[in-house]
Amino acid sequence: MRIVMDAMGSDAAPDPEVRGAVEASLETDGEIVLVGDEALLKEKLANFSKQGKISIVHATQAVTMDDSPMAAVRQKKDSSLLVGLRLLKEGKADAFLSAGNTGAVMLGARVVLGPIQGVARSAICQVLPTKKDPVVVLDLGANVDCTARHLCEFAEMGQVFSQLTLGVENPRVGLINIGEEQAKGNEIAKTVHRQLTAAPHINFVGNIEPKALFEGKADVVVCDGFIGNIILKTSESVASLMKTMVERELKATPMSMLGGLFSLGAFRRVRRATDPNFQPGAPLLGVNGIVIIAHGSSTHTGIKNAILGARKEFELGLNEHIRKGIDALRAAESAMAPVETSP
Protein backbone atom coordinates (compact mmCIF):
# COMPACT_ATOMS: atom_id res chain seq x y z
CA MET A 1 0.00 0.00 0.00
CA ARG A 2 1.21 3.51 -0.82
CA ILE A 3 -0.01 6.65 0.92
CA VAL A 4 1.01 9.91 -0.74
CA MET A 5 1.20 13.07 1.35
CA ASP A 6 1.39 16.76 0.58
CA ALA A 7 4.44 17.43 2.74
CA MET A 8 4.32 21.22 2.30
CA GLY A 9 0.77 21.95 3.47
CA SER A 10 0.62 22.42 7.24
CA ASP A 11 1.28 25.60 9.20
CA ALA A 12 4.72 24.30 10.25
CA ALA A 13 5.51 22.26 7.11
CA PRO A 14 7.40 20.12 6.49
CA ASP A 15 8.46 19.20 10.05
CA PRO A 16 5.19 17.64 11.30
CA GLU A 17 4.69 15.84 7.99
CA VAL A 18 8.18 14.32 7.97
CA ARG A 19 8.21 13.24 11.61
CA GLY A 20 4.62 11.97 11.40
CA ALA A 21 5.48 9.98 8.28
CA VAL A 22 8.52 8.45 9.98
CA GLU A 23 6.51 7.42 13.04
CA ALA A 24 3.68 6.00 10.92
CA SER A 25 6.14 4.14 8.69
CA LEU A 26 7.48 2.29 11.72
CA GLU A 27 3.95 1.08 12.53
CA THR A 28 2.95 -0.07 9.03
CA ASP A 29 4.43 -2.19 6.27
CA GLY A 30 3.32 0.13 3.45
CA GLU A 31 5.12 2.99 1.72
CA ILE A 32 4.66 6.68 2.49
CA VAL A 33 5.41 9.09 -0.34
CA LEU A 34 6.33 12.64 0.64
CA VAL A 35 5.63 15.22 -2.07
CA GLY A 36 7.43 18.56 -1.92
CA ASP A 37 10.83 20.22 -2.07
CA GLU A 38 13.10 17.19 -2.50
CA ALA A 39 16.25 18.77 -1.08
CA LEU A 40 14.46 20.06 2.00
CA LEU A 41 12.64 16.77 2.62
CA LYS A 42 15.87 14.78 2.32
CA GLU A 43 17.49 17.13 4.83
CA LYS A 44 14.62 16.66 7.30
CA LEU A 45 14.54 12.87 6.87
CA ALA A 46 18.27 12.67 7.57
CA ASN A 47 17.53 13.60 11.18
CA PHE A 48 15.87 10.21 11.75
CA SER A 49 18.21 7.24 11.99
CA LYS A 50 15.35 4.78 12.01
CA GLN A 51 12.49 4.91 9.54
CA GLY A 52 10.30 2.62 7.50
CA LYS A 53 9.66 2.72 3.77
CA ILE A 54 9.55 6.41 2.77
CA SER A 55 10.14 7.92 -0.66
CA ILE A 56 10.10 11.47 -2.04
CA VAL A 57 8.50 12.95 -5.16
CA HIS A 58 9.70 16.43 -6.04
CA ALA A 59 7.30 19.35 -6.49
CA THR A 60 8.44 22.88 -7.23
CA GLN A 61 5.45 24.71 -5.73
CA ALA A 62 3.40 24.72 -2.54
CA VAL A 63 -0.14 25.90 -1.83
CA THR A 64 -0.29 28.26 1.14
CA MET A 65 -3.14 28.86 3.55
CA ASP A 66 -3.55 32.34 2.06
CA ASP A 67 -3.95 31.12 -1.51
CA SER A 68 -7.36 31.27 -3.16
CA PRO A 69 -8.41 27.64 -3.80
CA MET A 70 -9.35 28.45 -7.41
CA ALA A 71 -6.07 30.29 -8.08
CA ALA A 72 -4.04 27.55 -6.42
CA VAL A 73 -5.60 24.83 -8.57
CA ARG A 74 -5.32 26.86 -11.78
CA GLN A 75 -1.90 28.43 -11.33
CA LYS A 76 0.13 26.04 -9.15
CA LYS A 77 0.05 22.94 -11.34
CA ASP A 78 3.32 21.64 -9.86
CA SER A 79 2.29 22.14 -6.25
CA SER A 80 2.81 19.32 -3.76
CA LEU A 81 -0.98 19.19 -3.42
CA LEU A 82 -1.77 18.65 -7.11
CA VAL A 83 1.23 16.41 -7.77
CA GLY A 84 0.09 14.17 -4.91
CA LEU A 85 -3.50 14.06 -6.15
CA ARG A 86 -2.32 13.15 -9.66
CA LEU A 87 -0.31 10.24 -8.24
CA LEU A 88 -3.54 8.97 -6.68
CA LYS A 89 -5.46 9.52 -9.92
CA GLU A 90 -2.84 7.61 -11.92
CA GLY A 91 -3.02 4.62 -9.60
CA LYS A 92 0.48 5.22 -8.20
CA ALA A 93 -0.92 5.63 -4.69
CA ASP A 94 -3.84 4.23 -2.70
CA ALA A 95 -4.67 7.27 -0.56
CA PHE A 96 -3.79 10.96 -0.26
CA LEU A 97 -3.28 13.17 2.78
CA SER A 98 -2.84 16.92 3.25
CA ALA A 99 -2.83 19.28 6.22
CA GLY A 100 -2.91 22.24 3.88
CA ASN A 101 -5.47 24.69 2.53
CA THR A 102 -8.79 22.87 2.99
CA GLY A 103 -10.54 24.67 0.15
CA ALA A 104 -7.71 23.89 -2.24
CA VAL A 105 -7.67 20.22 -1.20
CA MET A 106 -11.41 19.95 -1.74
CA LEU A 107 -11.36 21.72 -5.11
CA GLY A 108 -8.20 19.95 -6.25
CA ALA A 109 -9.66 16.54 -5.40
CA ARG A 110 -12.84 17.39 -7.23
CA VAL A 111 -10.96 18.51 -10.35
CA VAL A 112 -8.25 15.85 -10.43
CA LEU A 113 -10.10 12.81 -9.09
CA GLY A 114 -13.67 13.65 -10.03
CA PRO A 115 -16.78 12.77 -8.02
CA ILE A 116 -18.15 9.32 -7.34
CA GLN A 117 -20.97 8.72 -9.82
CA GLY A 118 -24.22 10.03 -8.41
CA VAL A 119 -22.56 12.32 -5.85
CA ALA A 120 -23.14 16.00 -6.58
CA ARG A 121 -21.02 17.37 -3.73
CA SER A 122 -18.17 15.93 -1.68
CA ALA A 123 -18.30 16.42 2.09
CA ILE A 124 -15.78 16.65 4.92
CA CYS A 125 -16.64 14.47 7.88
CA GLN A 126 -15.18 13.96 11.33
CA VAL A 127 -15.97 11.96 14.43
CA LEU A 128 -16.81 14.06 17.50
CA PRO A 129 -17.18 12.88 21.10
CA THR A 130 -20.56 12.87 22.86
CA LYS A 131 -21.87 11.87 26.29
CA LYS A 132 -22.40 8.39 24.81
CA ASP A 133 -20.86 7.04 21.62
CA PRO A 134 -18.96 9.14 19.04
CA VAL A 135 -20.97 10.88 16.31
CA VAL A 136 -20.07 11.36 12.66
CA VAL A 137 -20.76 14.94 11.54
CA LEU A 138 -20.79 16.16 7.92
CA ASP A 139 -20.37 18.46 6.09
CA LEU A 140 -17.71 20.37 8.05
CA GLY A 141 -16.84 23.03 5.53
CA ALA A 142 -16.67 21.84 1.94
CA ASN A 143 -20.06 23.26 0.96
CA VAL A 144 -21.49 26.46 2.38
CA ASP A 145 -24.73 26.25 0.39
CA CYS A 146 -26.46 22.89 -0.01
CA THR A 147 -29.60 21.61 -1.68
CA ALA A 148 -31.84 18.92 -0.22
CA ARG A 149 -30.24 16.35 -2.52
CA HIS A 150 -26.76 17.25 -1.29
CA LEU A 151 -27.79 16.76 2.33
CA CYS A 152 -29.40 13.41 1.53
CA GLU A 153 -26.15 12.32 -0.12
CA PHE A 154 -24.26 13.38 3.01
CA ALA A 155 -26.61 11.22 5.08
CA GLU A 156 -25.90 8.21 2.89
CA MET A 157 -22.13 8.71 2.92
CA GLY A 158 -22.10 9.37 6.67
CA GLN A 159 -24.11 6.21 7.30
CA VAL A 160 -21.62 4.12 5.32
CA PHE A 161 -18.68 5.76 7.10
CA SER A 162 -20.20 5.06 10.51
CA GLN A 163 -20.89 1.43 9.65
CA LEU A 164 -17.41 0.73 8.32
CA THR A 165 -15.11 2.78 10.54
CA LEU A 166 -17.01 2.77 13.84
CA GLY A 167 -18.77 -0.58 13.47
CA VAL A 168 -22.26 0.84 14.05
CA GLU A 169 -24.60 -1.76 12.54
CA ASN A 170 -27.62 0.47 11.90
CA PRO A 171 -26.55 4.11 12.42
CA ARG A 172 -29.17 6.60 13.58
CA VAL A 173 -29.09 9.52 11.15
CA GLY A 174 -30.20 12.98 12.24
CA LEU A 175 -30.54 16.37 10.56
CA ILE A 176 -29.25 19.47 12.37
CA ASN A 177 -32.16 21.86 12.86
CA ILE A 178 -33.47 24.56 15.17
CA GLY A 179 -36.02 22.20 16.68
CA GLU A 180 -37.00 18.54 16.75
CA GLU A 181 -40.43 19.00 15.20
CA GLN A 182 -40.82 17.94 11.56
CA ALA A 183 -42.17 21.37 10.56
CA LYS A 184 -39.09 23.21 11.87
CA GLY A 185 -36.51 24.83 9.62
CA ASN A 186 -36.50 26.14 6.08
CA GLU A 187 -37.88 24.44 2.98
CA ILE A 188 -34.63 22.59 2.34
CA ALA A 189 -34.68 21.09 5.84
CA LYS A 190 -38.33 20.05 5.44
CA THR A 191 -37.60 18.42 2.09
CA VAL A 192 -34.59 16.53 3.51
CA HIS A 193 -36.72 15.35 6.44
CA ARG A 194 -39.36 14.05 4.06
CA GLN A 195 -36.91 12.32 1.73
CA LEU A 196 -34.84 10.65 4.43
CA THR A 197 -37.99 9.48 6.18
CA ALA A 198 -39.03 7.80 2.92
CA ALA A 199 -35.64 6.08 2.38
CA PRO A 200 -36.14 2.53 3.76
CA HIS A 201 -32.41 1.78 4.09
CA ILE A 202 -31.63 4.86 6.21
CA ASN A 203 -32.41 4.83 9.93
CA PHE A 204 -33.52 8.45 10.04
CA VAL A 205 -34.37 9.68 13.56
CA GLY A 206 -35.48 13.17 12.54
CA ASN A 207 -34.26 16.64 13.43
CA ILE A 208 -31.42 17.02 15.93
CA GLU A 209 -30.66 20.18 17.89
CA PRO A 210 -26.98 20.92 18.67
CA LYS A 211 -27.55 20.00 22.32
CA ALA A 212 -28.90 16.59 21.30
CA LEU A 213 -25.89 16.08 19.04
CA PHE A 214 -23.51 16.10 22.01
CA GLU A 215 -25.92 14.00 24.07
CA GLY A 216 -25.40 11.18 21.59
CA LYS A 217 -28.95 10.99 20.21
CA ALA A 218 -27.68 10.17 16.70
CA ASP A 219 -24.74 8.30 15.23
CA VAL A 220 -24.58 10.45 12.08
CA VAL A 221 -25.54 14.13 11.92
CA VAL A 222 -26.00 16.00 8.65
CA CYS A 223 -25.77 19.73 7.97
CA ASP A 224 -24.41 22.16 5.39
CA GLY A 225 -20.74 23.13 5.55
CA PHE A 226 -21.42 26.58 7.02
CA ILE A 227 -23.22 25.16 10.05
CA GLY A 228 -20.86 22.19 10.32
CA ASN A 229 -17.74 24.32 10.36
CA ILE A 230 -19.20 26.53 13.09
CA ILE A 231 -20.06 23.44 15.16
CA LEU A 232 -16.55 22.04 14.72
CA LYS A 233 -14.67 25.24 15.52
CA THR A 234 -16.94 26.10 18.43
CA SER A 235 -16.54 22.64 19.96
CA GLU A 236 -12.74 22.82 19.56
CA SER A 237 -12.70 26.28 21.16
CA VAL A 238 -14.88 25.18 24.08
CA ALA A 239 -12.66 22.13 24.65
CA SER A 240 -9.58 24.39 24.71
CA LEU A 241 -11.31 26.80 27.08
CA MET A 242 -12.32 24.04 29.48
CA LYS A 243 -8.76 22.67 29.45
CA THR A 244 -7.37 26.10 30.35
CA MET A 245 -9.95 26.65 33.11
CA VAL A 246 -9.34 23.24 34.67
CA GLU A 247 -5.56 23.72 34.62
CA ARG A 248 -5.93 27.14 36.22
CA GLU A 249 -8.17 25.81 39.00
CA LEU A 250 -5.90 22.84 39.67
CA LYS A 251 -2.99 25.21 40.26
CA ALA A 252 -5.01 27.50 42.54
CA THR A 253 -4.21 25.76 45.85
CA PRO A 254 -1.84 23.04 47.10
CA MET A 255 -4.83 20.80 47.78
CA SER A 256 -6.21 21.16 44.27
CA MET A 257 -2.73 20.48 42.84
CA LEU A 258 -2.59 17.25 44.84
CA GLY A 259 -6.02 16.27 43.57
CA GLY A 260 -4.88 17.00 40.04
CA LEU A 261 -2.01 14.53 40.36
CA PHE A 262 -4.48 11.76 41.19
CA SER A 263 -6.60 12.74 38.19
CA LEU A 264 -3.88 12.85 35.51
CA GLY A 265 -5.07 9.65 33.87
CA ALA A 266 -8.61 10.96 33.49
CA PHE A 267 -7.36 14.28 32.09
CA ARG A 268 -5.23 12.47 29.50
CA ARG A 269 -8.22 10.41 28.35
CA VAL A 270 -10.37 13.52 27.98
CA ARG A 271 -7.59 15.26 26.05
CA ARG A 272 -7.32 12.36 23.63
CA ALA A 273 -11.07 12.44 23.02
CA THR A 274 -11.16 16.16 22.24
CA ASP A 275 -7.79 16.83 20.59
CA PRO A 276 -7.89 16.67 16.73
CA ASN A 277 -4.34 15.29 16.78
CA PHE A 278 -5.66 12.04 18.20
CA GLN A 279 -8.26 11.66 15.44
CA PRO A 280 -7.63 9.77 12.15
CA GLY A 281 -7.99 12.93 10.07
CA ALA A 282 -11.12 14.22 8.34
CA PRO A 283 -12.08 12.22 5.23
CA LEU A 284 -13.31 14.02 2.12
CA LEU A 285 -16.19 11.76 1.10
CA GLY A 286 -17.64 11.57 -2.39
CA VAL A 287 -14.52 11.77 -4.60
CA ASN A 288 -12.90 8.94 -6.56
CA GLY A 289 -10.12 8.20 -4.13
CA ILE A 290 -9.30 8.13 -0.44
CA VAL A 291 -8.55 11.74 0.56
CA ILE A 292 -7.82 12.73 4.16
CA ILE A 293 -7.62 16.32 5.39
CA ALA A 294 -5.64 16.96 8.56
CA HIS A 295 -5.78 20.09 10.71
CA GLY A 296 -3.44 22.87 9.54
CA SER A 297 -1.95 23.08 13.03
CA SER A 298 -1.44 19.31 13.24
CA THR A 299 1.50 18.03 15.24
CA HIS A 300 3.51 15.00 14.12
CA THR A 301 1.07 12.91 16.17
CA GLY A 302 -1.85 14.30 14.19
CA ILE A 303 -0.10 13.52 10.90
CA LYS A 304 0.74 9.99 12.02
CA ASN A 305 -2.85 9.29 13.04
CA ALA A 306 -4.17 10.74 9.77
CA ILE A 307 -1.85 8.40 7.82
CA LEU A 308 -3.12 5.44 9.82
CA GLY A 309 -6.68 6.62 9.20
CA ALA A 310 -6.07 6.75 5.45
CA ARG A 311 -4.73 3.22 5.54
CA LYS A 312 -7.81 1.97 7.39
CA GLU A 313 -10.25 3.59 4.96
CA PHE A 314 -8.51 2.06 1.97
CA GLU A 315 -8.45 -1.40 3.54
CA LEU A 316 -12.17 -1.16 4.35
CA GLY A 317 -13.06 -0.27 0.74
CA LEU A 318 -14.94 2.84 1.85
CA ASN A 319 -15.61 4.26 -1.62
CA GLU A 320 -17.05 1.02 -3.00
CA HIS A 321 -19.55 0.94 -0.15
CA ILE A 322 -20.42 4.60 -0.74
CA ARG A 323 -21.13 3.84 -4.41
CA LYS A 324 -23.56 1.08 -3.43
CA GLY A 325 -25.20 3.34 -0.86
CA ILE A 326 -25.72 6.16 -3.35
CA ASP A 327 -27.35 3.70 -5.76
CA ALA A 328 -29.75 2.65 -2.98
CA LEU A 329 -30.53 6.30 -2.23
CA ARG A 330 -31.35 7.00 -5.88
CA ALA A 331 -33.65 3.95 -5.96
CA ALA A 332 -35.47 5.25 -2.90
CA GLU A 333 -35.90 8.67 -4.53
CA SER A 334 -37.34 7.08 -7.67
CA ALA A 335 -39.90 5.23 -5.59
CA MET A 336 -41.15 8.42 -3.93
CA ALA A 337 -44.28 10.14 -5.12
CA PRO A 338 -43.64 13.57 -6.69
CA VAL A 339 -43.56 16.37 -4.14
CA GLU A 340 -46.58 18.63 -4.44
CA THR A 341 -45.86 22.30 -4.94
CA SER A 342 -48.02 25.32 -4.37
CA PRO A 343 -49.59 26.88 -7.48
> Per-residue pLDDT tens for 122-149?
999 999 988 889 999 999 988 888 999 9
Mean pLDDT within 314-338: 80
Confidence of residue 342 (pLDDT cuts 50, 70, 90): very low
Q: What are phi and psi of 227, to 5 degrees?
A: -65, -45
Predicted model pTM: 0.87
Location of each CATH 3.40.718.10 domain in the chain:
1-119+286-316, 120-276
CA pair distance 207, 218, nearest whole angstrom: 10
Q: Quick check: helix, strand or coil at residue 214?
A: helix
pLDDT value of position 256: 78
CB 10 within 8 A of CB 64: no
pLDDT at 146: 92
Q: Tell me the pLDDT tens digit for each residue of 264-296.
A: 676 677 666 767 788 888 999 999 999 999 999
pLDDT tens-digit map of 139-183: 998 888 899 999 999 999 999 999 999 999 999 999 999 888 877
Which residues, including other chains, have CB under 8 Å from residue 216's CB and lie 6 or more apart? 130, 131, 132, 133, 135
Question: Above 50 in pLDDT, residue 90?
Answer: yes
Q: Does residue 338 carry a pLDDT above 50?
A: no
Say what angle helices 225-250 and 264-274 make with each other, to 10 degrees. Answer: 160
If you count DSSP H runs as helices and E runs as strands, how many of each does the chain have, helices first? 13, 11
Q: Which pLDDT belongs to residue 267?
A: 66
For the segment 195-210, what is each residue's pLDDT rounded down to a tens digit? 999 888 899 999 999 8
CATH topology of domain 1-119+286-316: Isopropylmalate Dehydrogenase (3.40.718)
CB-CB neighbours of 26 under 10 Å: 13
Q: What is the spatial order of strands in the sheet that 31-36 belongs to?
A: 53-58, 31-36, 2-6, 95-98, 290-293, 282-285, 123-128, 135-138, 220-222, 172-176, 203-208
Backbone angles phi, psi at 154, to 5 degrees: -60, -40
The domain 120-276: what is its CATH number? 3.40.718.10
In the 8-state DSSP scheme, what is residue 287?
B
Give residues with Cβ within 8 angstroms of 341, minimum separation 6.
none
Q: What is the pLDDT of residue 102?
A: 92
